[in-house]
Amino acid sequence: MIRVLLIVALVVVGIPTVLYACWVTHTMLGRLCVRHARRFCVQSGLEFRRARWQPEFERRPDGSRGVKTEFTLVQLDCLDVQKERRLVLLSVWPFGVRKTVSDEPYPDSYDSQRPQICA
């Protein structure tokens, strides 16, 4: 009887602990990738404003999303030397920036799509 209770207690405590550890690891890896992207931004002479990230997926020949890769796509909103906004998309992994996917002027239409905060 004690053996069964011990197993049940281990499962009840163990599963939430493992799930929480996975969530913490996922969050910390995302923040590490953003830190690499911020460093890339500063080294490129850009002023960092904000960032967002998501997992990178392989593209199938028909253009649809395929398998998730070990890389993270980090999208940066930066200011260049002339104080013009740039939208930089980087492929990053925990060891650094892998490649620049795109670097283009920040479209004004993006701001109209974002929800405005009322004061």
Specify the pLDDT at position 70: 86
Specify the pLDDT at position 36: 94
Specify the pLDDT at position 119: 46
Q: Evaluate whether 51 touches 76 at the Cβ level (below 8 Å).
A: yes
- Give dist(CA 28, CA 31) in Å, integer: 5
Indicate the domain borders of the chain. 2-59+66-106
Three-class SS state of 65: strand
Specify the pLDDT at position 32: 93
**pLDDT tens track, the chain, 119 positions:** 889 989 998 999 999 999 999 999 989 998 999 999 999 998 999 999 989 888 888 888 887 877 888 889 999 989 988 988 899 999 999 899 999 998 888 877 766 665 555 54
- Give dist(CA 94, CA 72) in Å, integer: 9
DSSP letter, residue 63: S
Fold of the CATH domain 2-59+66-106:
Nuclear Transport Factor 2; Chain: A, (3.10.450)
Task: Report which of 46, 102, 39 is spatially closest to residue 73, judged by C-alpha positions.
Answer: 102
